[in-house]
Chains A and B, each alone.
Chain A
């Protein structure tokens, strides 16, 4: 049913529709309203689950790891410093191949302290072995949350649903919340084949000698690569039920004959689409929305870039001393392509800096002027930096 809802509330209701048995979260900053709203649903009797308010994000991740390993459908949410505090456990969840769903309400990482949106937090744990799906709007965040459980439970890989903090979580907009029956049909009860059972005791995540560690990592890597199929199938089946697609791994919009492509991740995709409508005198671009960042969809990206002369890769995070994070991976992915586009790489909107519609003409001007080999932070205001202090 269509409703005017704040993003955080929409996610809380959607999580409830997925019938989690255990929700564990640290309830204080950098937490969003998601967990506050879930606890209200539990208190009102609208969601029957074990809600564990823990003393840290490390514990939140540990609780959902244990719950999911014991066969419960489990959920947690965090952001920013909270994701970093979880990071050790995030590797464990993935390495033990336990299906957990986590919402990362993307926020900057301190210092300096910032509560605002960028994607440094989820980028910092990109190598933890989780599937990472990025959402362009709150509808995609709702739809991806339900899909995430199916993907996680079929691949035995944890899924991190990444939605821009504040920009999505604190925005009220018109959102279609699916019916309980539809979610129940799509998402059968969780059956974990390796669920811990006191009647048949088993240890997981124990010491592995060099004889087998490599094979464990190799298997994990292969599982993530093969998860592409499940991510696509989950979205296609969801579209059959709801008429809505989140764009599978990578989705395109804009004219087919566009020669300039702009690859983006998260909610900035919408602003770029709106800007293209506003600045009709500028050449129209092919907007490439990267939804699945892990697994990194190399084949789909090559296809998405076919026919482009220039590709702009937008970043909402930074690897200091190197530059763009996604940009490097896109360069590697397209390296073997015939007639690859020139790649331009920019970070924007760090720590909540507003990314206005004018970003579109600025990007087009920047790629006309600049040599394509570099990386820069497009919206840095150098006049604010005093070189003498």
Chain B
């Protein structure tokens, strides 16, 4: 079973990101589960969401304490204690950041990939919502699911101009990271 934890702030589409990732897994014939950590519902507050995907039905009803991967929607959250807690040894961190990944990797002692998702989203969507760009980068890095599954999940949730802009955004974001860089990590986490 793959377990992923998404950290962000209220308003960044954290729960939508988790739902999209689980829906993409469903589109590929997997069982999947996504849920928020149910914090205070207000803009700017730290929010956590969880995703599980597996080839078998998922029985767990508890939070993800030992994720294989972290998706961090706001680099400032890396300063908050506990955000990287429980990350599996050898797991990866994908962070929405303009800081170089090497600096972040050194500081955190874990494999970090940085993507300037907010500026990408601002440019293509016209809104600073980094979630879909990060998801496509995550899928490109891990090879867990094909990009088409994310496009199907986006198509089930968005329509018209918003869908078209998000499609452009995820295609752009996927091309900015090294394809399959985390493939081995993803295989290990699936075992």
On chain A, the residues within 8 Å of B18 by CB distance are 172
**In the complex, chain A residues whose CB is within 8 Å of the CB of B26:** 2-4, 174
Q: A273 to B59, Cβ gap below 8 A?
A: yes
Determine whether B43 belongs to the interface, using a CB cutoff of 8 Å to chain A. Answer: no
Q: Which residues of B contact A137 (CB under 8 A)?
A: 59, 61
Measured between alpha carbons, how far is A271 from B31 in the docked complex, in Å? Answer: 16
Shortest Cβ distance from residue B51 to the other chain A in the assembled complex, whole angstroms: 9
Number of interface residues of A (CB under 8 A): 28
Given contacts A4-B26, A174-B26, contact A115 B38 (CB under 8 A): yes
Q: How far is the CA of A352 from the CA of B40 in the complex (A)?
A: 13
The distance in angstroms between the C-alpha atoms of A170 and B38, with both chains bound, is 9
Q: Are B38 and A6 in contact (CB under 8 A)?
A: no
Knowing A4-B22, A172-B22, the reply to whether A271 touches B59 (Cβ < 8 A) is: yes
Establish whether residues A270 and B38, one from each chain, have CB atoms under 8 Å apart when the complex forms: no
* A61-B114 Cα distance, complex, nearest whole Å: 52
Which residues of A sit under 8 angstroms from B138, Cβ to Cβ? none
Judge if B34 is at the interface, Cβ distance under 8 Å.
yes
Which stretch in A85-93, A210-218, A354-362, A363-371 binds the other chain?
A: A354-362
Interface residues as binary, A154-176 with B (CB distance below 8 Å gives 1, 0 otherwise):
00000000001011101111100
Instruction: Report B138-156 residues with CB < 8 Å from chain A CB.
Output: 153
CB distance from A231 to the nearest CB of B (A): 24
When distances are taken between beta carbons in the complex, the residues of chain A under 8 Å from B23 are 4, 172
Query: How would residues 35 to 59 of chain A score, 1 for a CB under 8 Å from any chain B CB and 0 otherwise?
Result: 0000000000000000000000000
Shortest Cβ distance from B26 into A: residue? A4
What CA separation (Å) do A4 and B34 show in the bound complex?
10
A164 to B38, CA, bound (A): 13
State the CA gap A80–B15 with chains docked (Å). 23
- Among candidates B15, B32, B38, residue contacting A352 with C-beta atoms closer than 8 Å: B38
Whether A268 and B32, one on each chain, are in contact in the complex, defined by CB atoms closer than 8 angstroms, is no
Q: A4-B32, A174-B31, A174-B32 are in contact. Are A167 and B22 (CB under 8 A)?
A: no
The answer to whether B60 and A6 touch across the interface, beta carbons within 8 angstroms, is no
A267 is an interface residue with CB less than 8 A from chain B: yes
Q: What sequence of 0s and 1s flags, for each residue 50-62 of chain B, a beta carbon within 8 Å of any chain A beta carbon?
A: 0000000111111
Contacts of A274 in B (CB 8 A): 58-60
Query: Is B33 within 8 A of A167, CB to CB?
Result: no
Other contacts beyond A4-B32, A271-B62, A357-B60: 15, CB < 8 A: A2-B26, A3-B26, A4-B19, A4-B27, A6-B19, A137-B59, A164-B61, A167-B35, A167-B61, A171-B35, A172-B19, A172-B23, A271-B61, A277-B59, A354-B63
Residues of A within 8 A of B (CB): 2-4, 6, 115-116, 137, 164, 166-168, 170-174, 267-268, 270-271, 273-274, 277, 352, 354-357
A-B contact pairs, 10 of them (CB 8 A): A137-B59, A137-B61, A166-B35, A166-B36, A170-B36, A171-B34, A172-B32, A173-B31, A356-B62, A357-B62
Binding site for A on B (CB under 8 A): 15, 18-19, 22-23, 26-27, 31-36, 38, 57-63, 65, 153
